Amino acid sequence: MSTSSSTSSVIPVFNGEHYHIWVVKMRFYLRSQGLWNVVMSEADPPPLGANPTIAQMKAYEEEKLKKDKAITCLHSGLADHIFTKIMDLETPKQRVNGCCKPMRLLGKAFIDQKVVEKIMVSVPQKFEAKISTIEESCDL
């Protein structure tokens, strides 16, 4: 009888309830896949230098693929009715930038602090306690 144990990890699915639990599960799932740093960093891998070796080119391509793998994991962890709301977004910042970009094109200058303040003012009333906590604990 074999004593080897195999653990198959299943992507946790968010169906619109218990977000605080799903976030923790998803964070550890992405960590186990070596993708959490990609989620936290928006930077692309540094470009290849002159005359790269085949191993360097392969490593570079693998690093570039990690972002897509992380997004795929996140998409797979969403119920269809949640996914359809965000399927056009490629990064979390895209939605905020989508709102601010037209204003910037009209000549209105926005600093990040103003954008954060606008977002905090526009969220539903049920998040008032969380906003108060953020305002008290962070230097906006």
Q: Where are the domains of the chain?
A: 10-89, 92-140
3-class SS at 16? coil
Which tens digits make up the pLDDT trace of 31-60? Answer: 998 888 888 876 777 888 888 889 888 988
Angstrom distance (rounded) from CA 63 to CA 46: 10
pLDDT band of residue 70 (cuts 50, 70, 90) is confident
Angstrom distance (rounded) from CA 53 to CA 59: 10
pTM > 0.85? no
Identify the pLDDT of residue 84.
Answer: 82
Which tens digits make up the pLDDT trace of 9-25? Answer: 788 988 888 888 888 89
| Average pLDDT of the residues in 117-136 | 74
Residues 6+ apart with CB under 8 A from 20: none
What are the CB-based long-range contacts (under 8 Å, 24+) for 68-74?
69/33, 69/35, 69/38, 70/30, 70/35, 70/38, 70/39, 73/11, 73/26, 73/29, 73/30, 73/33, 73/35, 74/26, 74/39
Phi, psi for 79 (deg, rounded to 5): -65, 155
Angstrom distance (rounded) from CA 81 to CA 56: 41
Identify the pLDDT of residue 103.
Answer: 60
With tokens 């699915």, the residue in question is: 13
The better pLDDT of the pair 73, 128 is held by 73
pLDDT band of residue 4 (cuts 50, 70, 90) is very low
Identify the pLDDT of residue 2.
Answer: 46
Angstrom distance (rounded) from CA 83 to CA 86: 5
The better pLDDT of the pair 71, 106 is held by 71
